[in-house]
Amino acid sequence: MQISTILYRLSIALWFGGASLFTFVLTPAIFRSYNRDVAGGIVGVLFPGYFRWGLACGVVALVSLFIARGRHLPASATIIALMLAITAVQAFVIEPKAAELKREIPSFETTPPDHPLRAQFRKLHGISAVGNLGVIGGGLVLVVLF
């Protein structure tokens, strides 16, 4: 097996596994263990690194896929490109806007849920969550089918 094939499989597994772990294990555990403001602060500190991790894994996967010229190259490359695009939007558009909104909201525990800033934050969070599930779904397809 070529090193490029190993790097491809490893980067996809690390991206998919890291996203799944962060989404389904780490974040819920943090929110169960701390109040909403503290948990949101912790997760907010982790998000930039989380998105950089995804971008790095995606770039390595895409480059190594082209070097390996795998059997499912067009389909895999398309899925990886979509996952990278979603992650880039999360990293460079959504997360900075959400972080700015969080700084403007004194407390998620005391600010009413219908407050306009919370509504904006909730919308961004929803878009990011759907994107994150898309990345995880793409990773699952790459791990299981290809």
CA distance 15 to 9: 10
CA distance 57 to 83: 10
Q: In Å, what is the CA distance from 29 to each residue of 37, 40, 42, 76?
A: 14, 12, 11, 32
Q: What is the pLDDT of residues 83-113, one digit of tens each?
A: 999 999 999 999 999 999 999 999 999 999 9
Q: What is the pTM of this model?
A: 0.93
What pLDDT score was predicted for residue 69? 85
Say which residues have a Cβ less than 8 Å from residue 78's Cβ, sequence separation at least 6: none
CA distance 25 to 29: 6
What average pLDDT does the segment 122-139 reach?
97
Confidence of residue 121 (pLDDT cuts 50, 70, 90): very high
CA distance 39 to 71: 43
Q: Which two tokens stand for residue 125?
A: 């969070």
Q: Say if residues 77 and 58 touch (Cβ distance below 8 Å).
A: no
Whether pLDDT at 40 is above 90: yes
Say which residues have a Cβ less than 8 Å from residue 86's Cβ, sequence separation at least 6: 131, 132, 134, 135
What pLDDT score was predicted for residue 71? 73
- Report domain extents, the chain: 3-144
